[in-house]
Amino acid sequence: MRVLIPSALHSYTGRPWVEAQGTTVAAVLDDLDRQFPGIRFRMIDEQGHIRRHIRLFYQRKMVLDLKMLLREDNELMIVQALSGG
């Protein structure tokens, strides 16, 4: 599965698109963390919830459940919210 990585996390991956394996969102994030240690913690908090400033999209729909099933031939987009004043 192709995964879009937000620019703030390119320091982990070195590029905007990466490949990851898994049949659920959680499994894909675990595979990303295996390939790029520490990246999952930047997206998922200590309670196992998606961090407030992170949005995950699959088939143009926002992911709310890490147990959501995925198909390998699609894309998962990880978006980081911008803030400022």
Altogether, the residues listed in the chain come to a count of 85
- How many domains does the structure of the chain reveal? 1
| Residue 42: inside a domain | yes
Question: Three-state DSSP class for 70?
Answer: coil
| Residue 57: inside a domain | yes
Alpha-carbon gap, residue 84 to 71, rounded angstroms: 36
pLDDT at 72 (0 to 100): 85
CATH number at residue 8: 3.10.20.30
| Residue 36: inside a domain | yes
| Residue 49: inside a domain | yes
CB neighbour list of residue 7: distance below 8 Å, 6 or more residues apart: 16, 80
Residue-range definition of the domain harbouring residue 47: 2-80
Q: What does the pLDDT look like over 18-30, one tens digit per residue?
A: 999 999 999 999 9
| Residue 85: inside a domain | no
Q: What does the pLDDT look like over 34-79, one tens digit per residue?
A: 999 999 999 999 999 999 999 999 999 999 999 999 998 899 999 9
pLDDT at 38 (0 to 100): 97
| Residue 72: inside a domain | yes
